[in-house]
Amino acid sequence: MNKLTVQSLQWTGTALKVLDQRQLPDICRYDEYSDAAGVAEAIATMRVRGAPAIGIAAAYGVVLSAYRHYSATADNWRQQVAADIDRLAKSRPTAVNLFTALDRMSAVLGLVSADPLVALLACAEKIHADDIAANYKMGELGADLLTGAKGILTHCNTGALATGGYGTALGVIRSAYQRQPVHIYADETRPWLQGARLTVWELAQDGIPSTLIADSAAAWLMKSGTVDWVIVGADRIAANGDSANKIGTYSLAVLARQHGVKFMVVAPTTTIDWTIDSGAQIAIEERHQNELLPACYFGADSLVRAWNPVFDVTPAELISAIVTERGVILNPSTQGVRSLQ
């Protein structure tokens, strides 16, 4: 197992340190949070982002809530922790890992009759450790599919910054690069530029070379024949294999099909929402239009508006393989992902 060179989250024992990804690559700064409200704000403001990392951060947020509110003499500490869990659940709507982690923490809370602190921390630490272990497993399983690949294109950031460590799609890329030379391309990933600010920076920390491209250059790159696979992560996967991911992913899947390029989705099974049958049921988060608009258009009387969805859904029929820690599903449109349950 390779040493983690990048960590987005660090538990200190009394607080959660979050690498403020908005400042990268220019500034590498950790903010420290000692309550659930701070963790919820860190998630909502994208200091921490990436579905698995969001879930892990939220789990530690519940621990911090219990640290703050639990007392053997307090009658209402459970209600206060429950309110913090609700606050954390409202921080980002699309990443199912958030709700999976909070459900696990709530289940632990429901089982303890007295001091919950040890049990809650153990659950949060297990969620974190399990994600790291899953990343390494997915890295190897995904790399097995890439034998002979010369070029890989990825979108957004799916590495150690977006997970407990190592990464989902970027974990596969890391594992593949260790086996054979491969040219790695990264989309800028507008409008937050996670590819430009995070992915190529993270790869550089591991000594892995990469080439950054504008999102709009992806079609021409594929037409050149230098890309064999597009590899992306996911924020929510429906039972039929439809996958929600960072806006622009669907476009890449359509382009990949047009150019005969294979398309891989890499995500832990915590990202699968077994309760929904298709991607049509996935709620797509829309962020404030001012993230796109120049300041001159901010006024109430402006004739210019912006539409700012931050995710889209790729239909299963455009996906060549879904890689999870429990196994690989090839051509998921024929069977969905229920065989992984």
Number of domains making up the chain:
2
One domain for residues 153 and 111: no
For the full predicted model, state whether its pTM sits above 0.85. yes
3 pLDDT band, cuts 50/70/90, is low
Q: What is the pLDDT of residue 2?
A: 56
One domain for residues 148 and 286: yes
Boundary (domain end) residue, out of 104, 133, 162 = 133
Instruction: Tell me whether residue 4 is in a domain.
Output: no
* CATH number assigned to the domain comprising residue 55: 1.20.120.420
One domain for residues 300 and 283: yes
C-alpha 20/C-alpha 281 separation (Å) is 31
Residue 8 in this model has a pLDDT that exceeds 90: yes
* CATH number assigned to the domain comprising residue 269: 3.40.50.10470
Q: How far is CA 265 from CA 46, 62, 96, 161, 292, in A?
A: 22, 30, 15, 18, 27
One domain for residues 124 and 159: no
> Which two structure tokens, joined as six digits, stand for 169?
């799609």
Q: Is 99 exposed, middle or buried (0-12, 13-18, 19+ CB in 10 A)?
A: buried
Residue 241 in this model has a pLDDT that exceeds 80: yes
> Which residues carry out catalysis?
235
Question: pLDDT tens digits for 187-220?
Answer: 999 999 999 999 999 999 999 999 999 999 999 9
Instruction: Tell me whether residue 261 is in a domain.
Output: yes
Q: What is the pLDDT of residue 4?
A: 64
Q: Which domain holds residue 56?
A: 9-133
Residue 133 in this model has a pLDDT that exceeds 60: yes
Q: CA neighbours within 13 Å on the CB side: how many for 9?
A: 34
One domain for residues 271 and 191: yes
One domain for residues 98 and 247: no
C-alpha 314/C-alpha 307 separation (Å) is 19
One domain for residues 254 and 292: yes
Instruction: Tell me whether residue 269 is in a domain.
Output: yes
113 pLDDT band, cuts 50/70/90, is confident
Instruction: Tell me whether residue 3 is in a domain.
Output: no
One domain for residues 163 and 268: yes
Q: How far is CA 147 from the centre of its chain?
A: 25
One domain for residues 211 and 265: yes
Residue 93 in this model has a pLDDT that exceeds 80: no
Residues 113/192, Cβ–Cβ less than 8 Å: no
- State whether residue 329 is helix, strand or coil: strand
Boundary (domain end) residue, out of 87, 118, 133 = 133
